[in-house]
């Protein structure tokens, strides 16, 4: 019988991550647009960027400084960070329960469908989950011991969490919810260390606030616009149900069903109360957002740090077989995702634009391969784009990397980092290669002349292809 100790948890985690590394090495996928986008950020380190705080860029910069700018190195932080997050989940569970719950909690987390999918892509959720789990562990240690060291570590973790993703702010709501509702720890509401911790976390975050202040609070405005709540005119029950349905794939069918069941039949012991306090508020807030506007499946990801421990502990009490079944089912879902193309081929299913989950990470290397000789031939012209996706992908895949590329922006909108950092008006009289999925009808108004150089087709499926046009634009006149 498998011994449920830290050594075996670590062994299982390493085996799973090595398997994921094998999958990544053999996956014929391009960088996802956000990965290429964040990689570009990592080449100009700052305390803030258009849509996110800086930790994602810092993380990529750290890894690429060690192993280069290859696709694997850019994606590698996910494979490295998730085991650390799982370890903190193990430690939280051990602190609240025992080693057996810790073992199953750690294994359950590293096998979650969301973690399986996210392990192939570096995203802000990867670093957010790390700092959320660290903050929760140090908070638990702090309220149990009241040692200054743990309060300080909680402050550092929470501060970097805020520098990872703004939704880390929900952590403080969970803190007060738990302290208000748990008599045993209510005394910490009057504990100066709690408020010093909050101040210290805010000070760590402060450089990003200063950056935002000097950039018209653009990150906050983007986050508000992304939520869509300001434009919401009526309720969206369908969006809420769609979001909640997606959580069965994020957390796993058995685990999310167990979590929902627990909500209606909760246990009142302190560990369960704490785990509910640090999972339900996040899920509830994002669910409300889905109801009023929209919410993507991954937006509630921090919910599952505490929820994983809650479900593991609960199922160990009620049905260990169901816990094991949940983990095995989640593993199968992850493997099905990894080997989707092979499974589809075996079953005789033709890939289309509607049934391939990898659609958004295909075709960009092919585009760069066809563009490269054109870019080399017209090396006197800078590159001009009118969409974030193509610009981010081509800055990465073309060589030398065209970091001097410019975003075409005649209406002066602020919709990406490129709109924030490039201005065509700084290039009066210059020539450009305009790469677009549209035509030159708008762009040519601002240049002396326009010439179609090539039309590039990237066929992905029988029912879908991407078509790009390349124009040589002479002498920008300004706009």
pLDDT in tens, 378-418: 999 999 999 999 999 999 999 999 999 999 999 999 999 99
- Give the mean model confidence (pLDDT) for residues 308-321: 98
Q: Which stretches within 339-462 are classed as H helix?
A: 340-346, 364-377, 388-397, 417-421
Lowest mean pLDDT among 137-151, 216-230, 439-453: 216-230
d(CA 152, CA 264): 36
pLDDT at 225: 81
pLDDT at 232: 58
- Give the mean model confidence (pLDDT) for residues 215-234: 80
What share of the chain in percent tops pLDDT 90? 96
Burial of 412 (0-12, 13-18, 19+ CB in 10 A): exposed
pLDDT of 135 above 80: yes
- Give the mean model confidence (pLDDT) for residues 98-120: 98
Tokens 């000070």, residue?
203
CB atoms within 10 A of CB 461: 15
- Give the mean model confidence (pLDDT) for residues 230-242: 82
- Give the mean model confidence (pLDDT) for residues 124-141: 99
Tokens of 331: 């593993």
Residue 156 backbone zone (phi > 0: left; psi -120 to 50: alpha; other: beta): alpha
pLDDT of 195 above 90: yes
pLDDT at 223: 85
| pLDDT level of residue 71 (50, 70, 90 thresholds) | very high
Tokens of 181: 């509702």
pLDDT at 357: 96
d(CA 291, CA 425): 42
By C-alpha distance, which of 125, 86, 123 is closest to 6? 86
Query: Do residues 106 and 9 make contact, with C-beta atoms less than 8 angstroms apart?
Result: yes
pLDDT tens, residue by residue, 8-34: 999 999 999 999 999 999 999 999 999
DSSP string, 331-368: HHHHHHHHTHHHHHHHTTPPP-TTT-TTGGGSSHHHHH
By C-alpha distance, which of 215, 212, 226 is closest to 420? 215
pLDDT of 67 above 70: yes
pLDDT of 231 above 70: no
pLDDT of 271 above 80: yes
pLDDT of 230 above 80: no
Mean of the per-residue pLDDT values for the chain? 97
């Amino acid at each position: 019988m498998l011994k449920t100790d830290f050594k075996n948890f670590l062994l299982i985690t390493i085996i799973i991550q090595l398997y994921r590394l094998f999958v990544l090495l053999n996956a014929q996928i391009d960088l996802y647009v956000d990965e290429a986008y964040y990689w570009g950020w990592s080449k100009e380190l700052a305390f803030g960027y258009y849509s996110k705080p800086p930790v994602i860029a810092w993380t990529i910069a750290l890894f690429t400084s060690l192993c280069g700018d290859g696709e694997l190195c850019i994606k590698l932080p996910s494979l490295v960070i998730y085991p650390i997050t799982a370890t903190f989940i193990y430690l939280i569970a051990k602190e609240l329960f025992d080693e057996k719950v810790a073992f199953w909690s750690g294994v359950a987390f590293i096998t979650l469908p969301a973690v399986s999918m996210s392990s192939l892509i570096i995203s802000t959720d990867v670093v957010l989950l790390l700092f959320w789990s660290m903050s929760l562990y140090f908070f638990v240690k702090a309220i149990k011991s009241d040692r200054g060291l743990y309060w300080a570590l909680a402050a550092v973790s929470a501060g970097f969490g805020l520098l990872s993703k703004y939704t880390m702010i929900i952590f403080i709501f969970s803190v007060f919810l738990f302290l208000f509702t748990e008599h045993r720890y209510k005394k910490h509401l009057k504990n100066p260390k709690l408020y010093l911790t909050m101040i210290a976390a805010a000070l760590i975050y402060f450089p990003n606030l200063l950056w935002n202040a000097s950039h018209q609070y653009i990150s906050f405005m983007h986050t508000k616009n992304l939520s869509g709540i300001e434009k919401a005119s009526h309720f969206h029950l369908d969006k809420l149900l769609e979001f909640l349905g997606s959580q069965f794939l994020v957390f796993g069918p058995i685990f999310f069903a167990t979590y929902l069941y627990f909500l209606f039949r909760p246990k009142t012991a302190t560990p369960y109360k704490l785990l509910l306090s640090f999972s339900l508020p996040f899920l509830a807030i994002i669910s409300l957002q889905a109801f009023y506007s929209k919410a993507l499946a991954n937006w509630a990801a921090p919910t599952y740090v505490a929820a994983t421990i809650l479900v593991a502990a609960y199922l160990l009490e009620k049905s260990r077989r169901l816990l094991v079944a949940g983990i095995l089912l989640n593993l199968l879902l992850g493997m099905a995702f990894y080997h989707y193309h092979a499974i589809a081929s075996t079953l005789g299913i033709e890939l289309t634009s509607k049934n391939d989950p990898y659609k958004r990470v295909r075709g960009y290397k092919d585009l760069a391969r066809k563009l490269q000789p054109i870019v080399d031939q017209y090396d006197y012209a800078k590159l001009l784009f009118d969409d974030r996706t193509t610009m981010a992908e081509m800055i990465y895949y073309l060589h030398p990397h065209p970091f001097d590329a410019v975003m075409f922006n005649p209406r002066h909108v602020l919709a990406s980092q490129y709109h924030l950092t490039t201005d065509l008006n700084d290039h009066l009289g210059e020539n450009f290669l305009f790469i677009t999925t549209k035509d030159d009808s708008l762009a040519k108004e601002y240049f002396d002349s326009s010439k179609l150089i090539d039309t590039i087709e990237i066929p992905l499926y029988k029912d879908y292809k991407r078509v790009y046009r390349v124009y040589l634009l002479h002498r920008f006149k300004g706009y």
